Amino acid sequence: MNAMMLSDYDVFLFHEGSLQQAYQFMGSHVRKDSRGTYTEFCVWAPNARSVSLAGSFNDWKSAGYELQKWNREGLWAVRVDGDLTGETYKYEITTLSGERKLKSDPYGFASEKRPQTASIVYELEGFQWSDEEWLEKRSGSSIYDKPMFIYEVHAGTWKKKDGKFLSYKELARELIPYVKEHGFTHIELLPVTEHPFDRSWGYQSTGYYSPTSRYGEPHELMGFIDECHRNDIGVILDWVPGHFCKDAHGLYQFDGSFAYEYGEERDRENYTWGTANFDLGKGEVRSFLISNARFWMEMYHIDGFRIDAVANIIYWANQGQQSPNEGAIGFLKKLNQAVFEYDSSILMIAEDSTDWPQVTSPVHYGGLGFNYKWNMGWMNDVLDYMETPPEKRKDGHSLMTFSLLYAFSENYVLPFSHDEVVHGKKSLLDKMPGDYWQKFAQYRLLLGFMCAHPGKKLLFMGSELAPFSEWKDLEELDWHLMNYDFHHKFNSYFKDLVHLYKGAEALYELDHQSGGFEWIDVNNSEQQIFSFIRRGKKENDHLVVICNFSPIVYHGYKVGVPHADSYREIWNSDAGKYGGSDQVNPAPLSVHHETYHGKAGSVVMTIPPYGAVYLKPDYGRGE
């Protein structure tokens, strides 16, 4: 057995923090040359006394399988004769203090199924992709002026079969048609990197290069993504580059020292989550994570990343006063630059709860370099307002209007994510005050308002069923609810709403430009009615939106509108077929050509209780 030959330039980039394809030589790889077939292993363990290879191929006895230390910075490598595909292995590391550790491969492409923790030699090449048309379409268009409605999914609890997880293959057969039927444009997968504990939902990972074996093999995940693309569905990976779990076989104290994490306890220990923070200023850690993003794009054709806990990254987590972490901020900028240099059509979405400026501005303009950011402020304000009893909502009127003061300062996604329906927060439906009917009416209103508000959209799985119970992270969704009339009608409502949203350019083409939104009446706190205009790119392409957050029906209500001959009601959340009281406007609404609400004309209409109404202009038909 001889150590592999490494490119001096790649080694330099790896330690410097700029290597974008470290997975090409780190980890395990089966190679062939004129001398035959062999398997190479390479690992970074800067403070190890020695590193050996133990696995199923040597009866877990590492003697004779020692890795050679390649350089003083701590790269270790070995070449083993033969094709070891399918064999399990770990690195046996002897620390400077003489302690022996068995560690899974940080760059391992596959892992044993929990509770086993070894890595598996796995060749990713050989999968036959058939998504060329999707990739070409993605690269040739911009998402900014397209509809985007993301379905956030935890693969382990979307649906189960005989109490067990669906496999990647089964998810492809069942989840993709469901997502397509409901009109979602993207699936966002809660982290599918390998993780030891089911209830961490994937956020505490040990295998950043290894899709979890809970649902099948890596090629089967590729098959799922390929099938998504064949059905015009993008796939976003929830990704956690800020911190990692501390299980003994993982990255924590990998070689007896703090190789991947900060050396100082106050910086390293993430007490909130029981994890360790990556040292994002260290070159080898940067190469590990930036290469990991490139890996998912190149090898799995991932369409984007939702970056978890950006606030924890950009600020030092465990200091009494928040101060910027310049090393981590530099990492985020370098990450985003690397991603967009590889593919400018990738989604880089920051889950950021701070007011850090220019999160979605390019790095060369002084920004962090993301192209989207979750609008956590909008989500918190809107849910606070909705949870307020209707008779008190007039005092919180600004909760619904404040977001428009900053809606165009970043490129936003409006999220109703898993975080809002767990840990006693209640489901979205159950957050609504009032009786059974009122809860459903207000939930329909909430989503009608969401679809009309500037920004792309995200909804956590199951919310389209209107469950009363919050997410149960060990059980499947409440599919039995479709046997109940109001839940069935709500599901129909949601599907129709998403399809309408996707077909109405005015609701998305100018999401990130102030010209795409205009208030009609922003001050009607007494009646709790908000009216505004959404505009598309084409001249006169607009919708008038009226949302009533009170339980009162208003007949003969006058609303200012732009010039047109008449308006048609194309959406009413109170329609009887959706479970509403059917206070609709079936006939065209004639425009009275007099200035009202500062607009050129007005219409007189019925405003439904807890209702969202969309009006579309007609031209050339006369009054």
Residues 3/79, Cβ–Cβ less than 8 Å: yes
**What average pLDDT score do residues 29-41 get?**
94
Look at residue 109 and tell me if it is in a domain: yes
- Percent of the chain surpassing pLDDT 90: 95
Specify the pLDDT at position 472. Answer: 94
- Helix/strand/coil (H/E/C) assignment for every residue in 515-544: HHEEEEECCCCCCCEEEEEEECCCCCCEEE
Express each pLDDT in 249-292 by its tens digit: 999 999 999 999 999 999 999 998 999 999 999 999 999 999 99
The CATH number assigned to the domain holding 294 equals 2.60.40.10
- Is 87 known to be catalytic? no
- What pLDDT does residue 316 have? 85
Identity (one letter) of the amino acid at 171? L
Does a structural domain hold residue 181? no
Q: Is the pLDDT of residue 4 over 60?
A: no
pLDDT band at 621 (very low <50, low <70, confident <90, very high): low
- 347 DSSP β-pair partners: 304
More confident residue, 147 or 70: 147
Confidence bin at 70 (pLDDT 50/70/90):
confident
Domain boundary among the residues 374, 390, 424 is at 374
Per residue in 310-362, pLDDT (tens digit) is: 999 999 866 556 799 999 999 999 999 999 999 999 999 999 999 999 999 99
Instruction: Confirm whether 355 is domain-assigned.
Output: yes
Is the pLDDT at 5 greater than 60? The verdict is no
CA distance 475 to 472: 6
Residue 433 has pLDDT above 60, yes or no: yes
User: For residue 611, which phi and psi values (nearest 5 degrees)?
Assistant: -125, 145
pLDDT, one tens digit per residue, over 551-582 is: 999 999 999 999 999 999 999 999 999 999 99
* Confidence at residue 623, expressed as pLDDT on a 0 to 100 scale: 40
CA-to-CA dists, residue 480 to 328, 393, 462, 465, angstroms: 46, 34, 12, 10
Dist. CA 502–CA 534, nearest whole Å: 14
Question: What is the domain count for the chain?
Answer: 2
CATH code of the domain covering residue 591: 2.60.40.1180
Report the pLDDT value the prediction gives residue 1, as an integer from 0 to 100: 37
**Catalytic residue from among 238, 351, 511, 574:** 351
Q: To the nearest 10°, the Cα dihedral for 297, 302, 308, 311?
A: 60
Residue 157 domain-assigned (yes or no): no
Give the pLDDT band of residue 7 (cuts 50, 70, 90): confident
Tell me, yes or no, if 351 is annotated catalytic. Answer: yes
HEC profile of 572-616: ECCCHHHCCCCCCCCCCEECECCCECCECEEEEEEECCCEEEEEE
> Is 608 a domain residue?
yes
Range of the domain at 241: 1-146+236-374
pLDDT, position 3: 46
Instruction: Show which of 339, 374, 409 is a domain's final residue.
Output: 374
Domain termination residue (choose one: 324, 356, 374):
374
Mean pLDDT, rounded, for 397-424: 97
Tell me: pLDDT of 622 over 50: no
- 158 falls within a domain: no
Closest C-alpha among 177, 83, 142 to residue 340: 142
* Residue 492 belongs to a domain: no
- Does some domain include residue 415? no
87 alpha-carbon distance from chain centroid = 33
Helix residue ranges, H only, 62-205: 132-139, 168-182
Residue 452 burial by Cβ neighbours in a 10 Å radius (0-12, 13-18, 19+): buried
H or E segment to which residue 348 belongs: strand 347-350
The one catalytic residue in 308, 381, 464, 509 is 308
Whether 2 has a pLDDT exceeding 50, the answer reads no
pLDDT tens sequence across 584-608: 999 999 999 999 999 999 999 999 9
Helices 218-230/168-182 angle, 10° precision: 20
Q: What percent of the chain has pLDDT over 70?
A: 98
pLDDT in the model for residue 35: 86
The reply to whether 105 and 253 lie within a common domain is yes
Q: Are 430 and 420 in contact (CB under 8 A)?
A: no
Mean per-residue pLDDT of the chain: 96
